[in-house]
Every structure is written in structure tokens, then in C-alpha cells.
A and B are shown apart, each in its own frame.
Chain A
Amino acid sequence: MADDEAPPGWSYNPSSWGQRIPIVGLAVVGVAIATYLTLFQVGVIASVWEPFFGDGSRTILNSRISRLLPIPDAALGALGYLADAVTGAIGGKKRWKTMPWIVIVFGLAVGPLGGISILLVISQPILLNAWCTLCLASAVVSVLMIGPAMDEMLASLQYVKRQRDLGRSAWSVLWGGDDAEPAMAT
């Protein structure tokens, strides 16, 4: 039941909207949480929602670690989720081969970049001995996006590899534009 737009050797198309919309939806939730936390960090709102850990959120969001960079860490998180949402939404149903570069940027934003944000959240209870409900919620959002996003990146990387094996330059293939994949011997 492989559909026409599925990559060769795949049982489904990882670039279909059904595959991508849930990830974009999660990224939008991430933007909302991180924007809310940013508003607290920059002082636009005076208190932050914390149902479980007492002063935990306040301790973490006002910590020195959260201000190591010129902009608050939640603002970086919001930008990261925004990048996930935008690169998840750009391109059509065949983007695994028409725009490999955007799929790979999407995969790197969700995967390794998401991993770094998860590590930041992990460091909070260890370094500050405090917990922050919404920081944990945003880490859960990051984790949930990784599994479903990696398959599409795999399809694009396989496509670039196949084209390179056929003698095309990987660099030009990366930028895509080709709708029809030249026939290849298997």
C-alpha cells in the first residue's frame, strides 16, 4: 500500500501532512510555553504558574544560569520551537526530495537542538535543587517531537546519498528542485 509519494523502499511518505502536522502542532505548544516563561523572565508578568514545586519555577527562571546569555534562556527556547514549526511547515508533500535542505534543517532543529534544550532542563534540579513545571512540560514537548521527525530526515539523507552514488554533487542535490528522481538500479 505504498503511495506514489513515498520514498523508494518506504511503506509511507514521511513528508505527508498527516505526518508533519502533529509535529508542527507540538512546536506551536512549545512556542506558547516558552513565550510565557520569557514574559516572566523579562518582567512583563510578575508571577509564574507553578502548581507543584512551590518556589521552584521562580528559583529556576531567575537563576544566574538562565541569564548566562544576553537574552533569557526561555526566549532562546521560544526561537528554537519557532524554527521547528516553520521548518516543519515549509514545503509540500514531496519535500523529502524537492527540498532536502529544509528537511535536514528541521531534523537538526528538532533533534540535536532539542536535545540541548532537554539537557538544560535536566541540569536545573541538579544545579539548583529546584523543579519547574512548565520547564518540564516544554522538555516533554521537545522529546515527543524527536521520534516522529527523524524518519523524514532519514528519507532525505537517503535521497542525497542515492543521488551522490549516481554521480551527482551532494551539494546541488541538497538544494533540491528535482521533482522526478532519476531511475536507479537496485
Chain B
Amino acid sequence: MKIFTSGAWARLLNAGLGVWLMAAPAVLGYGAPASTSDRLVGPIAASFAIIAIWEATRAVRRVNSAAGVWLVIAPFLLGFGRTAMINSMLVGISMLILSRVRGEVSGSYGGGWRALWRRAD
């Protein structure tokens, strides 16, 4: 368990984006449905970004990729106002790009989670 693993900067930026989404409806002054989407996706994205800092759980950064995609398409699916739409899309694109930063994995983990599904030979 090393706290600042490689690529932690990308995880922390994504966590920051998640926290921003939680605050954005109040700061920028928009309501539902955009506020509901942001207040749901924000904390989930922030949580998984933090969990992905550790090497053994790095794979959950994919949740941030999915959140990024959702933030880009949600304004069209749910019909956001202009401000909420621009915010959602900018945050979504940034989150998607940051979630692609894999970072090095320097420790070894006995084959990782994949080892659990491998058949005995």
C-alpha cells in the first residue's frame, strides 16, 4: 500500500472533478434534471477515482471512463440547460481523458484479480 502511486495526479484531478460536480448546481445555479445527474455522478466518480489510486484496485478507473461518457451524453438524453450542458460536457471529456492515464504498477500481486478466475492446470 503506497499512498502516492504512479498516476495519482490523474486520480486526484478526477476526484476534484467529482467534488466540483457535487457543488456545481449550487455554484452555477441550475436545477433538475442536471443537478440530479451531477449530484449522483459526482460523488460516485470521486469515490472510484480515490479507490483507483491504490495499485491493487487501479482497474476501477474504468468507472471514471464510464462516468465521463455519461456526462457527455446526459445533456442530450435528459435535456440540460445551456450552463449545465457546457459544464457536464467539459467535465466529462476531462474525466474520460484523465481516466485513461494508467500509471505504472510497481508492486506485484500474485497475478491480481485475474488469478481468481484462471483455471487450474
A150-B56, A157-B116 given; A143·B108 CB < 8 A: no
Give the residues from 123 to 162 in chain A that come closer than 8 angstroms, CB to CB, to chain B: 125-126, 139, 143-144, 146-148, 150-151, 154-155, 157-158, 161
- Give Cα A146–Cα B46 distance, bound, in whole angstroms: 13
Chain B residues, CB < 8 A from A9 = 108-111
B46 to chain A, nearest CB (A): 8
The tally of CB-CB contacts under 8 A between chains A and B is: 79
Interface centre among A22, A121, A161 (most CB of B within 10 A): A161
Chain B residues, CB < 8 A from A146 = 47, 50-51, 57
Chain A residues, CB < 8 A from B116 = 154, 157-158, 161
Provide the main secondary structure of the chain A interface.
helix
Instruction: Write out, one digit per residue, whether chain B residues 37-66 have a CB within 8 A of any chain A CB (1) or not (0).
Output: 001100110110011111111000000000
Provide the main secondary structure of the chain B interface.
helix
Cross-chain contact B109 with A151 (CB below 8 angstroms): yes
CB pairs A–B below 8 angstroms (18 shown): A9-B108, A9-B110, A10-B109, A10-B110, A11-B108, A12-B1, A12-B107, A19-B1, A146-B50, A146-B57, A150-B51, A150-B56, A151-B1, A154-B109, A154-B113, A155-B110, A161-B115, A164-B120
